[in-house]
Amino acid sequence: MSFPFTTQEVSEAGSVVTIPSLKLFARGSSEYIPSKAPVFYNPRMALNRDLAVLVLRAYRKMIDWDLSVCEPLTGCGIRGIRFASQVEGVSKIVLNDLNPIASNLATLNVEKNGLTHKIIIENDDANSLLISHSHPNERFDMIDLDPFGSPSPFIDSALLALKGGGLIALTATDTAPLCGVNPLSCIRKYFGRPLRTEYCHELGIRILLNSLVFSASRHELGVNVLFSHSTNHYLRVYAQVRSGAGKANMAVERIGYILHCFDCFHRQCSFGLANFKEARCEVCGGNMNVAGPLWLGQIATREFCESMLSEVESVQLSNTKAAKKLLNTIIMEAEAAPTYYVIDRICDRLNVPPPSTELVIRSLSNYGYIALPTHFHPRGVKTNAPMHIIEKSIKELVLIPSNTLLPK
């Protein structure tokens, strides 16, 4: 097979694939622009694919039958190739791309990795491919939507092509809308209002999940969120979708709003759909700004993440250390309430030098509150402590030179 561009081989976690030469699409000496290449391959998404492999291995253990998988926006095929070679019990994979050059390159890569017995390549529009798999006998156990930008145009058809109990994975790289830089675009794509707070990436994940829950509930499907993360320039969620109006109702009951006061940083969750035009901050009396509707349930399930972690040492990953670190933090924060505080933002307001994240966490724990790190931000703290206690802790840490409150 020949291609109208120079190619090179890359190896990712044991799979070797042919891609367009990286140096042809380089900006400067180090940065590569995958969207400019004739077929998409982004080395920066290798950790995303590592985690997807861990999710699929944990999911396979959970359901214990052979899996059929679909990746309707596949690029050069690397993700599906890794699923086929790194997840035992994956018996059939359909990879698809609208770009005929991508689907040809994916075909070459599947042959090269000796996976033609498991992987079928299609060259179709993602929605028409998914709809053509909506018959109950044709549905998949897992569908991975990894598009340019927003997954929202493909969510409905993916839900129709998913078996009851199936797993859906969504990547969103359109963080500008989801994190509040472009709120109208977020409302248009996800029907949720974002807010430019210090925890805007968490809000983005919750808005993305809300749009999945509402799409699913139209088909009487409930959503059980297993794992989510925010890494580099993208947000990623994984959820098991279960049939039944009761399951759909349970998911819809976890929808609501987050109210945020920009004056004192107080925030509040409100379940259900309502109008907050007149909401006032219960701490300082300022205006509350509203984000949502969004998902207020857990964005990761501890047991599922522990199961992913237990797979880390049994499989080759592109970045084992990063995957482990991320999973350990997400396990810690899995059951914490929504939102987190960024220490530096509070210190700016108090006009004091910022103490370490670890010291703030220890101090809040000593006061009897839950206080945890978060993978969303290295200076973030998830806590149920009220704002005046957080401020008191920070002031004590920075104003009392040798702090006697903190046990070693």
Ligand X SMILES: C[S@@+](CC[C@H](N)C(=O)[O-])C[C@H]1O[C@@H](n2cnc3c(N)ncnc32)[C@H](O)[C@@H]1O
**Closest-CA residue to 166 (of 30, 56, 72, 251):** 56
> Two tokens at 42?
């982004």
Q: Does 46 sit near ligand X (CB under 6 A)?
A: no
Peptide bond into 183 cis (omega under 30): no
Q: Pick the piece of the chain touching ligand X (CB under 6 A) from 37-45, 222-230, 277-285, 383-391.
A: 37-45
Q: Pick the piece of the chain touching ligand X (CB under 6 A) from 74-82, 159-167, 196-204, 213-221.
A: 74-82
Q: Which of 46, 53, 75, 195: binder of ligand X (CB under 6 A)?
A: 75
SS3 call for 275:
coil
Instruction: Tell me the CA end-to-end span of the chain in Å, nearest whole number.
Output: 64
Work out what residue 98 binds among Zn ion, ligand X, none; the CB cut-off runs from 5 to 8 Å by kind. Answer: ligand X
Q: Does 398 sit near Zn ion (CB under 5 A)?
A: no
Cβ–Cβ < 8 Å for 146, 73: yes
Q: How far is the CB of 146 from ligand X (least distance, A)?
A: 3
SS3 call for 71:
strand
Find the binding residues for ligand X in span 110-129 (CB under 6 A).
125-126
> Two tokens at 8?
């090179």
Work out what residue 73 binds among Zn ion, ligand X, none; the CB cut-off runs from 5 to 8 Å by kind. Answer: ligand X
Nearer to Zn ion, 268 or 365 (CB): 268
Radius of gyration of the chain (CA): 22
Work out what residue 338 binds among Zn ion, ligand X, none; the CB cut-off runs from 5 to 8 Å by kind. Answer: none
User: Which are the contacts of 308, defined by CB distance < 8 A and separation ≥ 6?
Assistant: 51, 54, 55, 57, 58, 227, 327
Return the bridge partners of 142, or none: 69, 167
Q: Pick the piece of the chain touching ligand X (CB under 6 A) from 17-25, 40-48, 114-122, 180-188.
A: 40-48
Cβ–Cβ < 8 Å for 285, 203: no
Q: Which of 18, 74, 85, 210: binder of ligand X (CB under 6 A)?
A: 74
CB burial of residue 167 (10 Å; 0-12, 13-18, 19+): buried
Work out what residue 79 binds among Zn ion, ligand X, none; the CB cut-off runs from 5 to 8 Å by kind. Answer: ligand X
Q: Which of 79, 189, 229, 266: binder of Zn ion (CB under 5 A)?
A: 266
Element at 378 (helix H, strand E): strand 377-383
Q: Pick the piece of the chain touching Zn ion (CB under 5 A) from 25-33, 170-178, 226-234, 276-284.
A: 276-284
* Cα–Cα distance for residue pair 153/166, rounded to 1 Å: 19
Q: Pick the piece of the chain touching ligand X (CB under 6 A) from 2-10, 53-61, 144-152, 266-274.
A: 144-152
Work out what residue 146 binds among ligand X, Zn ion, none; the CB cut-off runs from 5 to 8 Å by kind. Answer: ligand X
Work out what residue 284 binds among Zn ion, ligand X, none; the CB cut-off runs from 5 to 8 Å by kind. Answer: Zn ion
Q: How far is the CB of 140 from ligand X (least distance, A)?
A: 15
- Cβ of 31: how many Cβ atoms within 10 Å? 9
Q: Which of 261, 290, 296, 390: binder of Zn ion (CB under 5 A)?
A: 261
* Cα–Cα distance for residue pair 372/357, rounded to 1 Å: 9
Nearer to ligand X, 49 or 242 (CB): 49
> Two tokens at 189?
């794509």
Name the site residues for ligand X (rule: CB under 6 A).
40-41, 45, 49, 72-75, 78-79, 96-99, 102, 125-126, 146-148
Name the site residues for Zn ion (rule: CB under 5 A).
261, 263-264, 266, 281, 283-284, 286
